[in-house]
Structure 1
Amino acid sequence: MRQTTMTKPAEVTRTWYVVDGAGKTLGRLATEVAAVLRGKHKPTYTPNVDCGDYVIVINADKIEMTGNKLDGEKYYNHSGYAGGLRVRSARVMKEKYTIEWVERAIHGMLPHTKLGNVQRKHLFVYKGAEHPHAAQKPVELVIKG
């Protein structure tokens, strides 16, 4: 008889991955990174346990969007006060708030729960090619497209 193996938090081994965003499409990059953050690439994946890995995204300023999405895509924030709606286009987000732009794309694909909040902290995004996580010896994660 087969048994379903449920991973316990103490049994999780984490790996550090580095992703080069140069020339990659934002949505395709975000889906693959979110799957690694959740741990869905592992055979020991358990939905209610944080079994994901750490991901470092470098060259975030060289990530692209296809079509007219840079002008058509809008990002909304609201302060909670009357008239407190702020709207930014994807072009403005890419030029001025690059790190937040990439983080929002990836965070939106993670669960919106306490578990998702823990998984969000395992993501590190940097504009350039340098990152301060060399001591963790990250492995390169190859992303298609």
Structure 2
Amino acid sequence: MKMVTAFTGNMKRAAAGLKRINLDGLRWRVFDAQGQVLGRLASQIATVVQGKDKPTYTPNRDDGDMCIVLNAKDVCVTGRKLTQKVYYWHTGQVLCICTIIMVCSYIGHLKKRTLKDQMTLDPTEVIRKAVLRMLPRNKLRDDRDRKLRIFPGSEHPFGDRPLEPYVMPPRSVREMRPRKRRAMIRAQKKAEQQQQNADGKKGKNGEARKKLHEDTILLKEDGAHTDCHSNGKPSVSKA
């Protein structure tokens, strides 16, 4: 992973809020999102930004490290989340009436956006929302959010910092097969099921025809036996 590259983005946005962070004793951890699953990556970032990977972790203190996430545009999702996952938001305002605080939400103007559209507009918000929703909703949440710096590509303005690349833990489960491979397996299973159903119908029809043939033979034999008896009757002579 290339750590130092020329940064051509919005420097003001990239360095926003750094003055409010006490950087003494903090490490600068670098996460490469390229090829990583969104949820697994967000869980690791949430652990580091809270300081849970340190033996000195305390829930009421903000001891988390600075987290720099690169290549946010190349993050991966599993299944059909790219088209089925939807982000919702709507406007609202806070009204103070006689020391009573009321929150008015205009749910009638609900807006939505799929994950695919959000990745096209701003892929950094996808990772930011995933991490923030894994953090406790307390007074330390905003401070931890300031320690999270996400960039769509490999460019970032923190090349002069002592950066430490973060190594993702190995996955203990097997890798998921590609979507085309899974689709081919489903098609093969469907074809086998259809073939089994067709063979079952043929077997049932063959048994029915065989039974009908046997019944026809029995009827013919009964008819022939009756004819023989009628022909063998003694004739009665008229007086």
TM-score normalized with structure 1 length: 0.88
Structure 2 counterpart of 1:93, from 115, 118, 121: 118
Higher relative contact order (CA 8 A, sep 6+): 1
Larger gyration radius, structure 1 or structure 2 = 2
Report the equivalent of 2:129. 104
Matching residue's letter, 2:54: K
Return the structure number with greater helix share: 2
Report the equivalent of 1:135. 160
Between 1:50-59 and 1:103-112, the stretch displaced more is 103-112
The within-5 A match list for 1:34-73 is 34-73=46-85
Check if 1:18 corresponds to 2:43: no
- How far apart are residue 96 of structure 1 and its match? 1.3
Aligned Cα RMSD in Å?
1.5
Count of residues in correspondence between the two structures:
135
Aligned partners of 2:68 and 2:150 also within 8 Å: yes
Offset from partner CA, 1:10-65 (integer Å, 9 cap, x none): 9x721010111100000000000000000000000000000100000000000010
The within-5 A match list for 1:120-131 is 120-131=145-156
Report the equivalent of 2:203. none
TM-score normalized with structure 2 length: 0.54
Structure 1 CA distance for aligned equivalents of residues 126 and 109 of structure 2: 20
Would the alpha carbon gap of residues 15 and 92 (structure 1) be closer, same or farther in structure 2, given more than 3 Å must change? same
Structure 2 CA distance for aligned equivalents of residues 82 and 31 of structure 1: 30
Structure 1 CA distance for aligned equivalents of residues 117 and 85 of structure 2: 10
Unaligned runs of 5+ in 2: 1-21, 93-105, 172-239
Over 6 Å off, 4+ runs:
none
Structure 2 CA distance for aligned equivalents of residues 105 and 91 of structure 1: 15
- How far apart are residue 134 of structure 1 and its match? 1.1
- How far apart are residue 82 of structure 1 and its match? 5.0
Matching residue's letter, 1:90: L
Offset from partner CA, 1:69-108 (integer Å, 9 cap, x none): 1111111111123522111111111121211111101111
Between 1:49-58 and 1:131-140, the stretch displaced more is 131-140
Structure 1 CA distance for aligned equivalents of residues 87 and 163 of structure 2: 31
